[in-house]
Amino acid sequence: MSKNINYLDFFIDELNKNFPGINAVSGEYWDGSDDQRVIWFKGTESASIDGQSLFNPYSYDCDPQEKIWVMGTHKKLCNFLKRHGWYPEPYDNGTLFAIRNV
C-alpha cells in the first residue's frame, strides 16, 4: 500500500511542478476516501496553461476540433496524464479529476 501512496505523492508533485497553479491533490481531499487512483485538481477554475484555462467544460462549442482542449481538459495536461497512465475525468462544470488506469 505505501508503494502506491509514494507513487501518488510523487505524481502529484510532478503535476504541480509541470503545471503551476493547478493545485493537484489526492482525491482524499475531495471526499475523504483513501482511493489512490484519484487526483483532484483544486485549481480547475483559476489555473491556466499557455494563457488558456486548464478546464473548459464548454470547449465543445468553442474548440470543436480539440486544438486546445480534449473533452474539456487542456491538451497539454491531457497528454501528460495519458503518458503516465492517467486520464482526465470531468465531474461537473467546475470540477476535474484524474483517474489512474490500472
Nearest-5° Cα angle at 64, 45 to 23 = 20
State the pTM of this model. 0.85
Q: Tell me which of 5 and 23 has the higher pLDDT.
A: 23
Tens of pLDDT, residue by residue over 53-70, are 999 988 878 888 889 999
31 pLDDT exceeds 90?
no
Q: Give residue limits of the domains in the chain.
A: 2-100
Residue 1: pLDDT band by 50, 70, 90 thresholds? very low
Which range (5-9, 60-64, 95-99) has the least confidence? 5-9
Question: In this structure, what C-alpha cell is assigned to residue 49?
Answer: 496553461
User: How many C-beta atoms lie closer than 10 Å to residue 5's C-beta?
Assistant: 12
Tell me which range, 4-8, 22-26, 93-97, is most confidently predicted by mean pLDDT: 22-26
For residue 3, give the C-alpha cell. 508503494
Closest CA to 88 of 46, 51, 40, 43: 40
Could you tell me how far CA 101 lies from the centroid of its own chain?
Answer: 13
